[in-house]
Amino acid sequence: MEKRLIKKEALAGIAKKMAEEFLVWAPVKKEDNVLFEPLQKDGEPYLAYLNSKNAPKNVFFPHTETLMKYTRTEKGMAFSSEENKAAESVLFGVRPCDAHSFALLDMLFDQDKYKDAYYIAKRLNTTVISMACVKPPYASCFCTSVDGEPVSSEGADVLLTDIGSDYLVEFITAKGEKLTRYFGDTKADAAADTRKEEIAAKAKEAIQSKIPAHEVKPILDVNFDNPFWNTIHSKCLACGTCTYMCPTCHCFDISDEVKGADGVRIRSWDSCMFPLFTKETSGHNPRTSQKERWRQRAMHKFKYYVDNFNAIACVGCGRCVMSCPVNIDIRKIVEDISKL
């Protein structure tokens, strides 16, 4: 594996240099929030960020995306084109938890039988550069409970680790190695590796928040009808913020829009928290109240995804914990389930 060292102050310039040549999604400051957005010509990546307000899943799975276009003909609406172009791009500076989420989303969108061409095209054309968390950004971080680590290269093509005055740059994949030319020519020495290992161990230890995410799987297997499910949803507003913030939530809607003679079929993020999500034309709704919807969310993350892909669909970023307007805390829910 190719490894380089770069001076810390050089990093912003590297991102900007890349942005001259292709699309670079980088953390940028927007009022009080940090968001991953395309880096503009005169834009500056915001490198003092803890983590972005929203998960960067929108790079591969946009809020709204055109699946196809059609146009009106004499005989009805005719299919005119499909939208499936992905520009060569770099996702610069995602945290390891969010990079982990890409590996989880791949399991769903890139299955053997049905491949999601839109997602896959963007994944293939995007190089992910992760920025290790040498200090866990939030007290609510719990990546180590869900198969993650604050210094981890999972889901990343390049991993940057702050080892003091330098960043250690590790080119994890062949796709990542195509970017070596931007990172100077100082080869990393063994001392840098050792330093990184120390930092990684320390960062891991600093993650204080822990949940029994693996332990609850056998409990969830047999507790679909447990009265416990009556206890968590009553204050839920069904706003869907948790699912919109979540790096691994991937439910979507497909709808048609027409203007004049032309139309588009789009897909947009949807949420299992919404009452209409499962409501059928007949009026029948298999998930009748917020109780069933919350059970679905918890089950999907800690049981169903494990059943299907042998992976927990949570990366421990804590966004849902921080963003819920009524302080529903998935950590507490998992903790409580472990005691059933």
Partner 1 sequence: MQNPYIPYPVVVDKIITEVDTKDIKTFRFKFVNPEDEEKYAYIPGQFGELSIFGKGESPIGIASSPTQKGYVEFTVQKAGVVTTALHEMEEGTLMGLRGPLGNSWPLEYLEGKNIVIVGGGFAFTTLRSLINYMIHDDNRKRFGNITVIYGARTPGLLLYKDELEEWGKRSDLNLNVTVDKGDATWKGREGFVPTVCKEVAPSKENAVAVICGPPIMIRFTLPVFFEIGFSKENIITSLEMRMKCGIGKCGRCNVGSKYVCKDGPVFSLAELDQLTPEY
Interface residues toward partner 1, by CB under 8 A: 67-68, 70, 72-73, 75-79, 82, 84, 108-109, 111, 113-118, 224, 250-256, 258, 263, 265, 267, 270, 272, 277-282, 286-287, 292, 296, 299-300, 303-305, 307-308
For the CB of residue 242, give the shortest distance to partner 1 in the complex, in Å. 14
DSSP assignment of 104-122 equals HHHHHHB-SS-B-HHHHHH
Residue 213: both structure tokens together: 């995410």
| Nearest by Cα to 208 from 318, 98, 339, 328 | 318
To partner 1, the closest distance from the beta carbon of 231 in angstroms equals 19
Q: Is the dihedral of CA 114, 305, 229, 268 positive or negative?
A: negative
Q: Are 242 and 324 in contact (CB under 8 A)?
A: yes
The smaller minimum CB distance to partner 1, of residues 82 and 88, is found at 82
Largest CA distance in the chain: 72
Angle at 106 between CA 105 and CA 109, to 5 degrees: 85
Tell me the residue type at 67: L
Residue 21 or 221: the one with the smaller Cβ distance to partner 1 is 221
Output the smallest distance, CB 76 to partner 1, in A.
4
Provide the minimum distance between the beta carbon of 282 and partner 1 in the complex, in angstroms, as a whole number: 7
259 Cβ contact list (under 8 Å, min separation 6): none
CB-hemisphere CA count at 13 Å for 260? 1
Q: Which two tokens stand for residue 173?
A: 């994949």
Nearer to partner 1, 161 or 248 (CB): 248
Which of 92, 302 has the CB closer to partner 1? 302
Compute the least distance from the CB of residue 252 to partner 1, in Å: 5
Q: How far is the CB of 42 from partner 1 (least distance, A)?
A: 37
Q: Which amino acid is at 111?
A: Q
* Residue whose CB is less far from partner 1, 71 or 323: 71
- Residue 257 β-bridge partners: 264
With respect to partner 1, which residue has the nearer C-beta, 66 or 180? 66
In whole angstroms, the minimum distance from the beta carbon of 318 to partner 1 comes to 22
Q: Are 83 and 66 in contact (CB under 8 A)?
A: yes
